[in-house]
Amino acid sequence: MLFFSFFKTLVNHEVTVELKNDISIRGTLKSVDQYLNIKLDDISVVEEVKYPHLSSVKNVFIRGSVVRYVHLPAAAVDTPLLEDATRREASQASAKAKQG
């Protein structure tokens, strides 16, 4: 659930989502769910002429399973915090593994 929480902190930031079919969509991250489905508002497609079906679309719901990359604004990412959270999650996971 770490990345779900991480994406929640990026709500209302501009991100670019690159799909597995090479479309890149830029927009404001509006919400994300546990599957990392992503909702973007005020979208613009990087190569609009190649993907005419998106030109009358204002906001999109992208299924998490088709996302290849999410380009993030570097300023919005607190790297040390993310590192700490990763360590915490890893230690929790190993503690659980020992118990079970």
Partner 1 sequence: MEQLGLHDAGQRPSSGMQQQMPPAPAPVPQLPPQMFTTAAQLLDLTDKKLMVSLRDGRKLIGVLRSWDQFGNLVLQDTVERLFVQNLYADIERGLFLVRGENVLLLGEIDLDKDDYVPEPYEPASVERVFALKKAEDQERSKTEKKRHKKLAAYGFEGEHAGEAIL
CA 63 to chain centre: 11
Query: Which CB atom, from 35 or from 90, has the smaller least distance to partner 1?
Result: 35
Provide the binding-site residues for partner 1, judged by CB under 8 A. Answer: 4, 8-9, 11, 19-21, 31-35, 37, 39, 43, 48-49, 52-63, 65-66, 68
User: To the nearest whole angstrom, how small is the minimum distance from the Cβ of residue 41 to partner 1?
Assistant: 10
Q: If phi over 0 gives left and psi between -120 and 50 gives alpha, with beta otherwise, what is residue 12?
A: left
Q: At residue 73, what is the residue type?
A: P
If the CB atoms of residues 50 and 87 are measured against partner 1, the closer one turns out to be 50
Which two structure tokens, joined as six digits, stand for 97? 């593994």
